[in-house]
């Protein structure tokens, strides 16, 4: 077992365990903070996959942006005085069946498909040059549309959350 | 390491996200689980991008992140507006469109 695999397993266990805490924790604050560790673990996996710029973006956008939004949402919508009642066992059986079906479908697709991938990962110095070139040449129109989407989402969120 | 390790990790994340959306009744937890599923899809994109040796998959990850950020802002605004009107974010009690 080399260092690459050890680091992979550390980040994989961190990601999966904290994702489990997100789903099965009784306390919503624990869920929010476990989600932070999930995002960090996924960023670590990105680094292992030679996607350095994506990893930094993951840390900035998810850990820095979306997590803050979620924690604000938790604090604005949770009554501190009464304990949250979880109705977890209400529809557990149909939910378990659906999850099992979805997982089985994904596993069978993954096993039965012959992926046309190269086996070793080619180690390049950085991916920023390629990403920047692609974003400003071939994918320029989606890039600009993404900025308009963000602008409209900002205005919509401000309008919806406004007190009137 | 083969690509299957990364695919299995993404698969586990996606299944946990599906389980959370189906099991939990708190709108914010459902929201977090949707973010989990988006992350697992991003993980698949990045692993294929890395194993195929081109960066186009990473461009898609950028657009998914953009949409996820927009979704987070608008979704949380909707949840806060709902909480202001109904004093609950239990998605079983938010059923005024049902008849």
CATH no. for residue B44? 1.10.287.3510
Residues A136, A59, single domain; the answer is no
Residues of chain B with pLDDT > 70, as a percent, come to 99
The pLDDT value given to residue A89: 53
Q: Confirm whether B98 is domain-assigned.
A: no
Residues A96, A135, single domain; the answer is no
Residues A95, A116, single domain; the answer is yes
Residues A64, A132, single domain; the answer is no
Closest Cβ opposite residue A31 in set B19, B32, B77: B32
Residues A61, A102, single domain; the answer is yes
Residues A31, A103, single domain; the answer is yes
Which of chain A's residues have a Cβ under 8 Å away from the Cβ of B85? Answer: none
pLDDT interval class at B15 (50, 70, 90): very high
pTM score, whole prediction: 0.89
Which A positions 7-66 lie with beta carbon below 8 A of chain B? 8, 12, 15-16, 19-20, 22-23, 28, 31-32, 35, 38-39, 42, 45-46, 49-51, 53-54, 57-58, 61-62, 65-66
- CA A54 to CA A65: how far, in whole Å? 15
Q: Which of B51, B60, B84, B90 to mutate to test the interface with A (most CBs of A within 10 A)?
A: B51
Residues A89, A47, single domain; the answer is yes
| Structure token digits, residue A53 | 């710029």
- CA A40 to CA A25: how far, in whole Å? 19
Which of chain A's residues have a Cβ under 8 Å away from the Cβ of B68? Answer: 61-62, 66
Q: Confirm whether B33 is domain-assigned.
A: yes
CB-based contacts of B29, cutoff 8 Å, min separation 6:
A22, A23, A28, A31, B20
CATH no. for residue A68? 1.20.120.1200
**So what's the ipTM on this one?**
0.91
The pLDDT value given to residue A90: 63
Mean pLDDT of chain A: 85
Residues A97, A117, single domain; the answer is yes
DSSP string, B9-74: HHHHHHHHHHHHHHH--BHHHHHHHHHHHHHHHHHHHHHHHHHHT-SHHHHHHHHHHHHHHHHHHH
CB-based contacts of A2, cutoff 8 Å, min separation 6:
none
Q: Confirm whether B46 is domain-assigned.
A: yes
Ranges A74-78, A89-93, B29-33, B89-93: which has the least confidence? A89-93
Number of domains in chain A: 2
Q: Confirm whether B99 is domain-assigned.
A: no
Domain range for B83: 3-93
Residues A96, A137, single domain; the answer is no
**Mean predicted confidence (pLDDT) in A154-163:** 88
Which A positions 97-126 lie with beta carbon below 8 A of chain B? 98-99, 102-103, 106-107, 110, 115-119, 121-122
Number of domains in chain B: 1
pLDDT digits (tens, 9 = 90+) for A88-141: 556 788 888 999 999 999 999 988 888 877 765 566 667 888 888 889 999 999
Residues A101, A122, single domain; the answer is yes
Ranges A82-91, A108-117, B19-28, B29-38: which has the least confidence? A82-91
CA distance B34 to chain A (A): 11
Domain range for A67: 3-126
Which B positions 25-44 lie with beta carbon below 8 A of chain A? 25-29, 31-33, 35-36, 39, 42-43
């Amino acid at each position: 077992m080399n260092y690459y695999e050890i680091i992979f397993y550390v980040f994989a266990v961190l990601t999966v365990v904290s994702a489990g805490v997100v789903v099965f924790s009784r306390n919503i604050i624990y869920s929010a903070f476990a989600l932070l560790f999930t995002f960090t673990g996924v960023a670590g996996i990105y680094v292992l996959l030679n996607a350095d710029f994506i990893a930094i973006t993951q840390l900035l956008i998810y850990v820095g942006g979306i997590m803050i939004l979620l924690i604000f949402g938790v604090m604005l919508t949770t009554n501190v005085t009464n304990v949250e009642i979880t109705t977890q066992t209400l529809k557990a059986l149909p939910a378990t069946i659906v999850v099992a079906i979805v997982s089985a479908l994904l596993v069978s697709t993954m096993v039965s498909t012959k992926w046309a991938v190269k086996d070793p990962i080619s180690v390049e110095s950085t991916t920023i040059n390629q990403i920047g070139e692609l974003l400003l040449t071939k994918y320029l129109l989606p890039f600009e549309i993404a900025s308009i989407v963000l602008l409209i989402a900002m205005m919509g969120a401000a309008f919806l959350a406004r007190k009137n | 390491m083969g690509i299957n390790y990364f695919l299995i990790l993404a698969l586990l994340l996606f299944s946990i996200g599906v389980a959370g959306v189906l099991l939990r009744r708190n709108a914010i937890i459902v929201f977090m689980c949707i973010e989990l599923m988006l992350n697992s899809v991003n993980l698949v994109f990045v692993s294929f991008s890395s194993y195929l040796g081109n960066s186009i998959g990473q461009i898609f990850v950028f657009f998914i992140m953009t949409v996820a950020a927009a979704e987070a802002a608008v979704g949380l605004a909707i949840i806060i507006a709902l909480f202001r009107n109904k004093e609950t974010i239990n998605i079983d009690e938010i059923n005024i469109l049902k008849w």
